[in-house]
Amino acid sequence: MTSHQFIVASPPTDAISTLKFSPDPNSARIVVSSWDKNVYLYDLRDENGKVGEGKLLQKFEHRAPVLDVCFGENENEIYTAGLDWDVRKIDLNTSEQTVLSSHEAGVRHVVYSREHNIVISASWDSTLHIHQPDAGANPDSLPIIVPLPSKPFSISATATKLIVAMASRALHIYDLKALALLTAQADGTAPGGNRVEVEPWQRRESSLKFMTRAVACMPDDAGYASSSIEGRVAVEWFDPSPESQARKYAFKCHRQTAEDGVDVVFPVNTLAFHPVFGTFASGGGDGVVALWDGISKRRIRQYQKYQTSVSSVAFSASGQHLAIAVSPGFEDGHDEVLGGTVKIYVRELGETEAKAKGPK
């Protein structure tokens, strides 16, 4: 494609569910979870420290497809969630896997909050599990279970808040501090009795009419973007004041006009905010990745279409790279995944490539 885009070597053999960059700004490591039941760890740097096609460092096999992965406190530990109902912690140095907790259905998402040192997992059994990272090692430390009104489809955390987007267009915003306190208190209580009804800080209805596909929080903790299966992205602010709420908006994207004039609408599978500029990237079922300036409501750029659906995008902690996971058959689930169609692209971003241009 372009000279500053690499295809990561030895990609997963089946569709990619999630791709994350290391939290360390000086690192170019990525973890990738895949439907082929493995979690892959890549280092994009070669021996000379130059970012290129990278190499596969490690591969961690699970019992079932892995749906989400995130880095923990540092880049040596990751948390995974998958169809085997378990939330795991993997120590990358020792390859030791510990099960933090088990849900009663597939676990769709897992996030780690560095500020509060808790791990939150969201499962299709309509619960959140909130763990202390040492839960596996410490048998006394049990996760608290927060029931949700519907199945969660996407979660995202900022320094202070956790957003859970659910079925029926419901959206809860939790105060992470409260959740962390509850988890700490739950430590000493009797096992099994740790189901806690937590009142969210805010309950909202999605401003999109269709199923929420992804949510992502702004790095400055001011608001979030959400996307739906119907080619639309909404940008909203946490601040409940009418002035802030009046700023919220939604726009259409990831659509194509077919030859017969029909507007083909693709789901917006993934959203990721740039850690420095506060702009965000969206990846859709049409294979397009676009960068948006959520504040000035502008598209910054749109990259050349990829062959198949974009299942996950992630910015590196330094903001210099954008990783794009491309996998086929992600929407309909019927296509057999052909070899060579699952790819991870890494774009080296120019200094201002993802920067908001400001009003013209």
Give me the half-sphere count of Cα atoms (radius 13 Å) on the Cβ side of residue 78: 29
Instruction: Give the nearest distance from C-beta 21 to another protein in angstroms.
Output: 21
Give me the half-sphere count of Cα atoms (radius 13 Å) on the Cβ side of residue 243: 0
Give the DSSP letter string of 88-121. Answer: EEEETTTTEEEEEEE-SS-EEEEEEETTTTEEEE
Nearer to another protein, 238 or 330 (CB): 330
Distance CA 149, CA 328 (A): 32
Instruction: Give the nearest distance from C-beta 162 to another protein in angstroms.
Output: 19
Instruction: Give the nearest distance from C-beta 263 to another protein in angstroms.
Output: 5
In which order are the strands placed within the sheet that holds 29-34? 16-21, 29-34, 38-45, 51-61
Nearer to another protein, 118 or 165 (CB): 165
Instruction: Give the nearest distance from C-beta 270 to another protein in angstroms.
Output: 12
Nearer to another protein, 62 or 116 (CB): 62
Q: Which amino acid is at 360?
A: K
231: nearest Cα among 260, 251, 215, 214: 251
Which residues of this chain interact with another protein, rule CB under 8 A? Answer: 1-4, 15, 17, 35, 63-65, 67, 83-85, 102, 106, 108, 124, 151, 153, 167, 210-211, 213, 229-230, 258, 261-267, 269, 285-286, 301-304, 330-333, 350, 353
Nearer to another protein, 47 or 332 (CB): 332
Instruction: Give the nearest distance from C-beta 188 to another protein in angstroms.
Output: 26
Nearer to another protein, 107 or 344 (CB): 107
Nearer to another protein, 8 or 229 (CB): 229
Nearer to another protein, 84 or 236 (CB): 84
Instruction: Give the nearest distance from C-beta 101 to another protein in angstroms.
Output: 13
Tell me which residue has tokens 């070669």. 46
Q: 130 to each of 115, 134, 141, 178, 182, how far by Cα in Å?
A: 14, 12, 11, 11, 9
Contacts of 241 (CB under 8 A, 6+ apart): none
Give me the half-sphere count of Cα atoms (radius 13 Å) on the Cβ side of residue 59: 11
Instruction: Give the nearest distance from C-beta 246 to another protein in angstroms.
Output: 24
